[in-house]
């Protein structure tokens, strides 16, 4: 799940969070969609940007897994079952979540972690908010080559200029 500019960037020039440029309607959609998930996965660079809101909203009913090659660097922030740091490959992360009974995981970026999961074909659904902005530079939704086909299952207006696009993975070729 991501919010992006028309030209495919998920960050504005400041590299900070989306609050300065994503719409209120996207924030509402994000909260509503997250309420349907029991866990999420994202990269350490995303965690570093959003550390304060994340650590101040620890909830054991929704596990957050941060991917990092340096879990020890984040040991002080870890709360087992709520905020965990993992250096496992994506397929192992997902297998571990399934084994623990988690059913619906939101992949929350950023571009590098999205690429790891997409390259391993571990994503069932894309939920993309398209904001009416062009940035010309920044972090891309996906930052490496991959070739996966998708079927559009929802194209909804969130406001007069913001669209919500939902795709599911097309049958494997
Ligand atoms: N618009 C949106 O919807 C949205 C969503 C999410 C994020 N963002 C933005 O995206 C930006 C971050 O994106 P990003 O692409 O730079 O970073 P990212 O994907 O969030 O995290 C990348 C980091 O993950 C760690 N990592 C773990 N396993 C790895 C592996 N196998 N290979 C490589 N790295 C691995 C590395 O840090 P270690 O050194 O810790 O290993 C790497 O630097 C932030 O500005 C954030 O605000 C936007």
- pLDDT digits 0-9 by tens, 124-139: 999 999 999 999 999 9
Question: Per-residue pLDDT for 59 more than 80?
Answer: no
pLDDT at 172 over 70: no
The alpha-carbon radius of gyration of the chain (Å, integer) is 16
Of all residues in the chain, the percent with pLDDT exceeding 70 is 99
Token code pair at residue 120: 């391993």
Q: What is the pLDDT of residues 68-93, one digit of tens each?
A: 999 999 999 999 999 999 999 999 99
Q: Which of 123, 156, 154 has the alpha carbon at shortest distance from 141?
A: 123
What does the mean pLDDT of the chain come to?
95
Q: pTM of the prediction?
A: 0.96
How far apart are the C-alpha atoms of 113 and 46, rounded to whole Å? 9
CATH among 3.40.430.10, 3.20.20.70, 3.30.70.980, 3.30.360.10 for 2-169:
3.40.430.10
Q: Is the CB of 106 under 6 A from ligand 1?
A: no
Any ligand 1 atom below 6 A from CB of 90? no
Which residue, 138, 171, 154, 170, is CA-closest to 1? 154
Alpha carbon nearest to ligand 1 atom 35, residue: 68
Q: Is 133 in the pocket of ligand 1 (CB under 6 A)?
A: no
Domain ranges of the chain: 2-169
Instruction: Count the neighbouring beta carbons within 10 Å of the beta carbon of residue 1.
Output: 19
Band of residue 152 on the pLDDT scale cut at 50, 70, 90: very high
The rounded Å distance from CA 115 to ligand 1 centre is: 10
């Amino acid at each position: 799940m991501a919010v992006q500019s028309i030209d495919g960037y998920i960050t504005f020039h400041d590299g900070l969070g989306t609050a300065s440029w994503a719409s209120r309607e996207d924030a509402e959609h994000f909260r509503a969609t997250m309420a349907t998930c029991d866990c999420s996965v994202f990269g350490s660079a995303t965690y570093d940007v959003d550390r304060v809101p994340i650590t101040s909203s620890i909830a054991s009913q929704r596990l957050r897994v941060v991917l990092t090659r340096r879990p020890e660097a984040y040991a002080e922030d870890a709360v087992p079952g709520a905020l965990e740091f993992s250096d496992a490959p994506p397929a192992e992360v997902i297998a571990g979540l399934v084994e623990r009974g988690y059913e619906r995981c939101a992949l929350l970026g950023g571009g590098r972690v999205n690429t790891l999961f997409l390259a391993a074909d571990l994503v069932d659904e894309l939920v993309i908010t398209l904001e009416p902005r062009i940035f010309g530079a920044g972090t891309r939704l996906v930052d490496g080559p991959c070739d996966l086909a998708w079927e559009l299952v929802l194209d909804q207006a969130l406001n007069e200029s913001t669209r919500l696009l939902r795709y599911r993975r097309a049958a494997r070729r």
